[in-house]
Amino acid sequence: MSDAAPATARIVAAFLAVYVVWGSTYLGIRVALESMPPYVMAGTRFFASAALMTAWALRARAPRPDRQDLRTGLLTGLLMLSVGNGTVTWASQYTASGRIALVVALTPVWMTLFDWARPQGVRPARLELAGLVVGFLGVAWLIGPDAWGGTHDATVFGAELLVVAGSMSWGGGSLLTRYARGRTTPAMRTALQMWVAGAALSAVAIVRGEWGALDLSAVTLRSWLAWGYLVTFGSLVGFSAYVWLLRVVTPAKAATYAYVNPAVALFLGWWLLDEPLSSRTIAASAVIIGGVAAVTLARRPAPVPAAAETDETPIGEVA
């Protein structure tokens, strides 16, 4: 078998994990928050995921993180998981998941612009930019104007502004992850990011008084199952696959999950919860996939600094 075949299979598996698994996490977060405070849920989720990922990395004999690894883990853990995921979790209490998904769909735009603006940045190809625009329009059509009705109070507006800031923060952290140098493995870097997020989000829970108000006896089995799903699939499988993709494909291609996730969420709702699936949903999904295809075919992956590459690929957890 050629060397290209395993790499292609891993890339496909990683994209499937990011597209399908992360598409289901919006539902998982909503269910977990039914009986759990938001930052307690998010903080403990990442602590649990960090412990499991650290055990995996140590079992694989990952090198001890150096100073650069620690600095990168701190920054990206704050930008991506603490701010990026934390804002989505908080906003899920006040606004519809469809609105959140639409705002998060801006992430590829931020990543492409940040990647272009950085020193010696990568100028996006015309087809890549066209794909980003088409994908965004597809998401807007998918959500539709009917999802924007109802009372738009200050809390909802503030929640959505926070998600915009969170998507920008995630985009910046993703680029830092892609171009970071260090001696340890991707699995250990992912664990570091999760430890940082667990600590930061748990600290926010303390400031908000969530730990004192937590009643474990009131947490339902349904919420515990959703929490467990977020720990294992949402964090371990989905996030580790995403971190690996950032090193083998362009940032814009890795970020196409933001276009596919809303479609996946709607299809899962139709399949599991008997929610209606309209012709507009099917047509808009076709537009989204078209945008993703344009981004994917736009250009070959940009090279990653050799010092940042390792022999281990965390996609092994997905396969």
d(CA 262, CA 153): 24
Q: What is the pLDDT of residue 278?
A: 73
Answer with the residue of higher pLDDT: 309 or 258.
258
d(CA 183, CA 52): 21
Higher pLDDT, 2 or 69: 69
Q: Give residue 145's pLDDT.
A: 57
At residue 310, the pLDDT reads 41
Instruction: Name every residue whose Cβ is closer than 8 Å to that of residue 9 and which is 6 or more positions away in sequence.
Output: none
* Predicted structure pTM score: 0.77
φ/ψ of residue 242, rounded to 5: -65, -45
Q: Cα(259)–Cα(139) distance, rounded to whole angstroms?
A: 6
The number of residues in the chain equals 319
| Spatial contact of 143 and 282, defined as CB atoms under 8 Å apart | no
The whole-number pLDDT of residue 246 equals 77
The residue-averaged pLDDT of 108-118 equals 81
Phi, psi of 185 (to 5 degrees): -90, 165
pLDDT at res. 155: 73
pLDDT in tens, 126-146: 888 888 888 878 877 776 655
**pLDDT tens, residue by residue, 149-183:** 444 556 766 787 888 889 889 888 888 887 777 78
Instruction: Check residue 195 and give its pLDDT.
Output: 96
Tell me the percentage of the chain whose pLDDT exceeds 90. Answer: 27
Domain ranges of the chain: 4-317
The confidence score (pLDDT) of residue 315 equals 31
Of the candidates 50, 89, 43, 25, the one whose C-alpha atom is nearest the C-alpha of residue 194 is 50
Provide the mean pLDDT of the chain: 80
Average pLDDT over residues 14-20: 89
Lowest model confidence (mean pLDDT) among 11-20, 74-83, 205-214, 303-312: 303-312
68-97 burial code (b ≥16 CB/10 A, e <16):
ebeebbebbbbbbbbbbbbbbbbbbebbbb
